[in-house]
A and B are shown apart, each in its own frame.
Chain A
Amino acid sequence: MSAKIGINEKSTVHQPSITETPKAIAGVSTYLDDRLGAGNFLKRNLRKIFPDHWSFLLGEIALYSFIILLLTGTFLTFWFKPSMAHVVYDGVYEPLKGVGMSEAYASSLHISLEVRGGLLMRQMHHWAALLFVAGMMVHMLRVFFTGAYRKPRELNWLIGILLLTLALVEGLTGYSLPDDLLSGAGLRITEGVMISLPLVGSYITFFLFGGEYPGTDIISRFFTLHVLLIPGILLALISAHMILMWVQKHTQMPGKDRKNTNVVGAPFYPAFMAKAGAYFLFTFAVTAGLGTFAQINPIWLFGPYTPADISAGSQPDFYMGFLEGSLRLMPAWEINFLGYTLPLSVIIPALLPLGIIMTGLALYPFLEQWVTGDRREHHVCDRPRNNPHRTSIGMAAISFYGLLWLLGANDEISAKFQISLFVTTIVGRVLVFVLPVVTYIVTYSICIGLQRKDAEVIGHGVESGVIKRLPSGEYIEIHVPPADDIADHMLGKRPVAMLPGAGDGEAEPEGVPPKALRGPIGKLRAKMSRAYGGEKVAIDDGHGHHDDHGEHAAIGAGDGGHSNDKK
């Protein structure tokens, strides 16, 4: 560990201003170490190295939002009454005076308008909730597109998927608590989806709601789930997520001297600590800023919940938007048989997209391993272009999700842009199948194009902007090698692994394939491996591949196509 050097060393460049631990700190730390033996841990970890890349901070948005949620949420519980008891409003908001409502709604109004800082905390809580989920999503996309979920991080990836799922449930339960007309609409849809489940639907609903919808129990039950059970599990999972990250060390982007066997970056103490702290403060500032300047969920405008009323434009929060969209998209299919009903127009849209996305995400690391046969550890991230199929699959999934999300607001789109409502739905029904395919193809082409560009930069250099006149009178622009750090970043590319015996390039392998690749599934697997793996566009810097520590792709992947791909 080179980091140890220089703490007490005289240097010509830098004169140390502190040479001895101050007594106050030394005393306390000795006291603690005597009892905990924390010294060993600190010795190993104080100067733990963290690699630097802006996208590595995205996950922290979710982490810090969670802290903000705990703080503001606790504040809210001091006044919130999770009760559906009927009261007549007698607060300060004139247009609701004398209106009957639940105690939950009345207390939410009280927090908003009659507690100093109450509105700010409520709005910050809601914004932080949106930020929590959004932060998880962008973090997950970063991990996905850079392949940072690969061995040894599959377990942490699964924890992440679990966290995202729980966050959706946490959001749903929280959204319902104020018991205003908008949140009630969301609750009703939840109930409608739940009751449509085959066999158990009406039982689950009756158990959850304590009888018929809406009953008088659901707010207090959701409250317990929202403030105790789910946050508890979230906290445990987040801790596990952080510990695994700490133990496995963070991945790094490809670059100069960055290998699978090292970490290059800044030490935890003091630099990374300060950066992370600053990012926490930024997250807090953005949440506070949104809570100050952008009104969110103005419940006093919505009125109390009654199952008899609904507003136009009743939407869920953004993270549930894709479910809303898929429900809107579905044609009216319902099957009746033997006296039982299977409401496909509810079950399919409610479960299928969610299932595709969540299951797909959870299984992806394992499917990729199955296809590529790659069981090595990876600590250097892929640039998204360098695994074009993965990137294209990811983008196709984003377009699928994004389209459903957009259609969750098709009434607002229809109203604002004067497009016929049914047209948005019908177009959506087509696009939901077409758009992912188109996105896949376009993304793949872009990835290959970018790879070619890289190969060109490394092979031919970059334009220097300097024009030279040759003796023959010809003018040429001098090409120079790219800057070292950029070249190293590009040269960090490794071919995607391929199953041994799957053959390379487009060609069918000759001879007898290995046992695992026989039979229809095996053949499909080999075919997928050929398509997914290998080197699409080789980079040639004149020295062949950097081959660090035997970490070459399996069985000569990509070596065949080296010179052909170049112009």
Chain B
Amino acid sequence: MTENSHEPEAPDERVPKRVIGTPPPAESTSLLGAAEERTAQGPGPMPGVKFQDEKTAKKGERIAALCFVITFLSAIGFIASYVIFQVGDLDKAGASNLALGGTLTLAFLALAAGVVVWVRMVMPKYTLFQERHEMASEPATREVVAETFLQGAEESGFVKRKLLRRTLLLAAAPLGLLPIVLLRDLGPLPGTALRHTVWGKKTKAGKDRRLLVEGTGAPIRAADFNSPGGILSVVPEEYQHDLNELAKSTLILIKLRPEVIKSGTNLNWTHDGIIAYSKICTHVGCPAALYEQTTHHILCPCHQSTFDAADGAKVIFGPAARPLPQLPLGVDSEGFLVAKGDFPVPPGPSFWERGDAEAEVRARGGHA
């Protein structure tokens, strides 16, 4: 703005004529607005309804008609595509998707455009007014309703007859509980299920449970898993496909050079530098399986809790509060890796009844 003295002038025409032919600013964006805007609501027999001039309407009709024809053709095209394009592999499904989707999109797009053109170029412009009233009812009405309510309450005897009222409420109370009671059988109670895994049990044959490679189901000979820095995803023997068991028993098996292993790891539970940790993150249970052999970091891809595999999988970053539990490892007579017992603490995400299981184990003189 310049100075105060330049008060808005109000010449006869609101916006003075341009003398030198600089192009006016784009009307739709300018605060000046268009000069004709004020005449848009001319006097007519239908105030607030301004019909389009015939030329515009005619043009609109043609454009809209063209759009509708496109829709018609696209819809036919859709039906034709359905018949022509079969599915059965990725390429075919792709071609079918493109043909069906393309025609469908075009059909709706053209129809939408046609209707918009119809509204904008054929239908009149409206500036109609309608009155609004306060939402509240008239005081008199409210009074009548209140009276009616009281009258009804009186007639029903609900207020006067206490026995009726109280027994009705009594009847309602247990009825409300029924749906909740009915839902009890949705599932069993947790019990101690969350605290134990199948690693703590012997196999059907009464032997120590072997560790199997996930995906191949092969047992692992300790001597074969011999590349330092290596990692394997491991599932329990006899339970390779039991999802409930996998959700808490899956392991990562890591081979480290003995000299890098730190005090957090229970050496008695390792075998020749091979350590087994629960793969289930102690945060919310994603499989924590990104392993960097250079730093010994185990990273959970969901929320990036990071554990140090060389140091008892202690947490070094992220939201997990506890280390991944270590599984006691051993080898059987054939040299295959087996579990020598269950995790010392419940694996997986924390829960209310879990308590500080690690501290309890330590208090008993164990290692967790």
Q: Interface residues, chain A, CB within 8 Å of chain B?
A: 1-3, 5-6, 9-14, 47-49, 86, 92-93, 100, 112-120, 123, 152, 185, 188-189, 191-193, 195-203, 205-215, 217, 248-249, 257, 260-267, 270-271, 274-275, 277-279, 281-282, 284-285, 288-289, 291-293, 300, 305-314, 324, 327-334, 336, 339-343, 345-346, 349, 377, 379, 410-411, 421-422, 425, 456-457, 460-462, 464-466, 476-486, 567
Contacts and interface: CB of A to CB of B under 8 A. Distances in A.
B248 to A, nearest CB: 8
Interface stretch (B83-91, B171-179, B264-272): B83-91
A271 B306 CA distance: 60
B101 A328 contact: no
Interface stretch (B180-188, B201-209, B218-226, B326-334): B180-188
B230 interface: no
B244 A334 contact: no
B253 interface: no
A211 B244 contact: yes
Nearest to A192: B284
A119 B302 contact: no
A216 to B, nearest CB: 8
A48 B9 contact: no
Given A116-B82, A275-B115, A282-B109, 5 more contacts: A2-B47, A281-B108, A309-B289, A466-B18, A478-B9
A2 B129 contact: yes
12 contacts: A2-B48, A2-B128, A200-B352, A275-B119, A281-B112, A292-B105, A313-B301, A327-B302, A328-B303, A328-B319, A332-B318, A341-B355
A interface: dominant SS: mixed
B104 interface: yes
A567 B4 CA distance: 8
Contacts of B241: 86, 100
B284 A189 contact: yes
B295 to A, nearest CB: 12
Contact of B285 (A191, A288, A486): A191
B107 to A, nearest CB: 8
Interface string B98-122: 1011101100110111011011000
Given A116-B82, A119-B96, A263-B129, A346 B104 contact: no
B135 interface: yes
Contacts of B359: 336
B31 A206 contact: no
Interface of B: 1-2, 6-11, 14-19, 22, 24-25, 31-34, 37-38, 44-49, 51, 82, 85-90, 93, 96-98, 100-102, 104-105, 108-109, 111-113, 115-116, 118-119, 123-124, 126-135, 183, 186-190, 193-194, 214, 233, 235, 241, 243-244, 246-248, 250, 279-280, 283-287, 289-290, 301-306, 315, 317-322, 348-356, 359
B354 A341 contact: yes
A257 to B, nearest CB: 7
B interface: dominant SS: loop
Given A345-B319, A456-B1, A93 B283 contact: no
Given A3-B130, A483-B31, A483-B32, A116 B349 contact: no
A311 to B, nearest CB: 7
Contacts of A270: 123
Contacts of A343: 321, 349-351
B255 to A, nearest CB: 19
B128 A267 contact: yes
Contacts of A332: 305, 315, 318-321
Contacts of A249: 130, 132
B130 A208 contact: no
Nearest to A330: B319
Contact of A189 (B38, B131, B286): B286
Nearest to B78: A117
Nearest to B116: A278
Contacts of A477: 2, 6
Output the residue of B19, B89, B287 with the most chain A CB within 10 A. Answer: B287
A314 B279 CA distance: 16
A117 B321 contact: no
B44 A421 contact: no
Contact of B319 (A257, A260, A305, A327): A327
Given A13-B44, A312-B290, A213 B112 contact: no
Contact of A291 (B19, B101, B116, B302): B101
Nearest to B117: A278
Contact of A213 (B115, B244, B352, B356): B244
A119 B93 contact: yes
A465 B350 contact: no
Contacts of B233: 308-309
Closest 4 CB pairs of A and B: A483-B33, A192-B284, A292-B101, A461-B8
